[in-house]
Amino acid sequence: MTFLTKTRTLLAAAAIALTAAGGALAAGFELLDEAPEDAVIVNIDKMKYETPEVTIKAGEAVTWINNEVMPHNVHFLAGVVTEDAVRGEMLKKGESWSARFNEPGTYDYHCTPHPFMRGKVVVE
């Protein structure tokens, strides 16, 4: 299965994530209802983000994909990307969640039920 095909199968899950976040989002951060083809991928497996630090340019997107049965999510604390916390819905195996970062900065996140799972997006 190509990445693009897989991505298309995940649109429904991403749409749920968009709804779940709710509230007003800062212009610098956008939840995406589909994974852009050129997004930087962060795979989740074996209780960790496989590339815990990724560096992107402003305007680029990151897609997290859970590759194991244990559900995980992506959770930014209040004040990191918006005034409110952004807590992605729990991803089942094969599901993804995508966001675009338009403002330079360092954005730390963790997994809600597994706070020892940590990662960061560095936006240049």
Q: Is 123 in the site for Cu ion (CB under 5 A)?
A: no
DSSP string, 4-64: HHHHHHTHHHHHHHHHHH-S---TTEEEESS--TTPEEEEEETTEESSSEEEE-TT-EEEE
Integer-rounded Cα radius of gyration of the chain:
13
Q: Is 114 in the site for Cu ion (CB under 5 A)?
A: yes
Whole-number minimum distance, CB 24 to Cu ion, in Å? 27
Give the interface size with Cu ion as a residue count (CB under 5 A): 4
Which uninterrupted H or E stretch holds 118? strand 114-123
Q: Which of 1, 47, 75, 114 is catalytic?
A: 114
Catalytic residue check, 117: yes
Q: Is 72 in the site for Cu ion (CB under 5 A)?
A: yes
Distance from CA of residue 45 to its chain's centroid? 14
Q: Is 75 in the site for Cu ion (CB under 5 A)?
A: no
Whole-number minimum distance, CB 116 to Cu ion, in Å? 9
Q: Is 110 in the site for Cu ion (CB under 5 A)?
A: no
Residue ranges binding Cu ion (CB under 5 A)? 72, 111, 114, 117
